[in-house]
Amino acid sequence: MKLAGINVYNIDVPSVLQYKLASATVTHLQSTVVELITDSGLVGFGETCPAGPVYQPQHMLGARAALQEIGPSLIGLDPRNIGQLNRAMNAALNGSRYAKAAIDIAGWDIAGKAYNRRVCDLIGGATGDTIPTYYSVTTASPDEMAREARERQQEGYARVQLKIGGRDVEEDIETLHKVKEAIKPGLRVAADANRSLTSRDAMFLSHRCRDISMVIEQPCNTVEEIAAVRHQLCHPVYMDELAEDVNSVIRAVSGGLVDGFGLKLTRLGGISALQIARDICEARSLPHTCDDSWGGDIIAAACVHVGATVAPSRFEGSWIAAHYIGRHFDEQNPVRIQGGRIGVPTGPGLGVTPDRNQLGSPIMSFG
């Protein structure tokens, strides 16, 4: 089987709810969808969708420029050999893992279809038919965030992530106490600063919330700041934005820098990289998520397939953007959240196929 062509598409993914975090408010994004076409007639889809130009160094136009650079060198390869596909991408372009992730995901989609297996079956096997997700409570008043956390617990969520930072730390401390009062025991809580706290405020917040069972996610902007405050905090620390690739995960784990991770599919480099990070976490008993910062059904499906292979005792869930996006790429088999859980797609490969009407004409083609 050889790769005969690649199409790159744009799909609008407007946010129907305000998604506000410390550094940005996500409104209208454009996702980049990749279609790999083989000489056997099988096609596979991948996707990359940075959450705007500010949240991370990755951005939409950067992904498309990288795909322009990489695309031609992949024609003729067997897309089922995903290791070779990744090496060819690395030989064509340094970095830009988030663009390469779209190709990697599409390669796994083709491999699954070629072998008539779901992606999760190829990377370790699913632990069940559904997996947990968690609800991200975006920045709002303390009372509103407490109400949202309580309602999501009633809806069936086992975990909430509260966006903190980007405002007076006193308001975040008040929020966390109000959430504690509003919820019943058993709901796991993560306070996610998205890199925004000073080490001073991270210490203030942690010490004044020391009676609250929670983890603090990505409190500060740099590895050095986290290392400086880590042992002065009362809470476990998770790394998210600074887990940029497999190597940064290895470095953080081997240095004992963190107690868990928010692992992001496209930032790390796709399904291949995410499963390596998953295995590193397994070796050190570190809890983690399997998600992405944004994206449509293709990214959601890829996150769920990897998430389905994580040992439940260590799995913090797969967050997907489905709540915020007013449409599904695949209306027949959408990746949906119900009662705090997501069904693992059942078809071969990723188990989702984007609607051709939504894809429109390619914005780029190779081969």
The answer to whether residues 172 and 191 touch, using CB atoms and an 8 Å cutoff, is yes
Q: Which of 35, 47, 148, 240 binds Mg ion (CB under 5 A)?
A: 240
Comparison of 50 and 262: residue with beta carbon closer to Mg ion = 262
- Report yes or no: 101 and 266 within 8 Å, Cβ to Cβ: yes
- Residue 265 near residue 299 (C-beta atoms within 8 A): yes
User: Which region, judged by CB under 5 A, interacts with Mg ion, from 129-137, 256-264, 301-309, 318-326?
Assistant: 256-264
Question: 114-143: which residues touch Mg ion (CB under 5 A)?
Answer: none
Write the burial class of residue 285 (CB in 10 Å: 0-12 exposed, 13-18 middle, 19+ buried): exposed
Question: Interface mask (CB under 5 A) for Mg ion, residues 191-230, using x and -?
Answer: -x------------------------x-------------
From the list 31-39, 134-142, 262-270, 335-343, the region that binds Mg ion by CB under 5 A is: 262-270
Q: With respect to Mg ion, which residue has the nearer C-beta, 239 or 304?
A: 239
Our finding on whether 291 is near Mg ion (CB under 5 A) is: no
DSSP string, 304-325: HHHHTTS-GGGB-----GGGTB
Q: What is the 3-state secondary structure (H, E, C) of 266-285?
A: HHHCCHHHHHHHHHHHHHCC
Q: Does 262 bind Mg ion (CB under 5 A)?
A: yes
Asked if 134 and 159 touch (Cβ cutoff 8 Å), the reply is yes
Under rule CB under 5 A, how many of the chain's residues touch Mg ion?
4
109 or 240: CB nearest Mg ion: 240
CB of 227 to Mg ion, least distance (A): 19
The answer to whether residue 244 forms part of the interface with Mg ion (CB under 5 A) is no
Q: Please give, one letter per residue, the 3-state secondary structure of 88-132.
A: HHHHHCCCCHHHHHHHHHHHHHHHHHHHCCEHHHHCCCCCCCEEE
**Nearest-CB residue for Mg ion:** 240
264 labelled catalytic? yes
In the window 156-195, what residues touch Mg ion (CB under 5 A)?
192
Residues 163, 178, 180, 184: which is the catalytic one?
Answer: 163
Does residue number 260 form part of the binding site for Mg ion (CB under 5 A)?
no
Contacts of 329 (CB under 8 A, 6+ apart): 11, 33, 296, 297, 298, 352, 354, 355, 358
317 binds Mg ion (CB under 5 A): no
Residue 337 is classified by DSSP as E
Give 153 or 161: the residue with its C-beta nearer to Mg ion.
161
Taking the complex as a whole, how short is the minimal distance between the CB of residue 141 and Mg ion, in angstroms? 21
> Is 343 among the residues that bind Mg ion (CB under 5 A)?
no
Q: Which is nearer to Mg ion, 201 or 291 (by Cβ)?
A: 291
Nearest distance, CB of residue 136 and Mg ion, angstroms: 8
Number of helices and strands (H, E) in the chain?
Answer: 13, 14
**297 near Mg ion, rule: CB under 5 A:** no
Judge whether 330 and 352 are in contact, CB under 8 Å: yes
Strands 188-192 and 3-21: unpaired
Rounded least distance, CB 158 to Mg ion, Å: 17
Smallest distance, Å, CB 198 to Mg ion? 18
Please tell me which residue in 100, 113, 178, 264 is annotated as part of the active site.
264
**Contact flag: residue 35 with Mg ion (CB under 5 A):** no
Examine the residue annotation and report whether 163 is marked as an active-site residue of this protein. Answer: yes
Give CA–CA dist 117/248, Å, rounded: 31
CA torsion 160-163-169-172 (nearest 10°) is -40
Tokens representing 74 are 């992949």
Please list the active-site residues: 163, 264
Residue numbers at the binding site for Mg ion (CB under 5 A):
192, 217, 240, 262
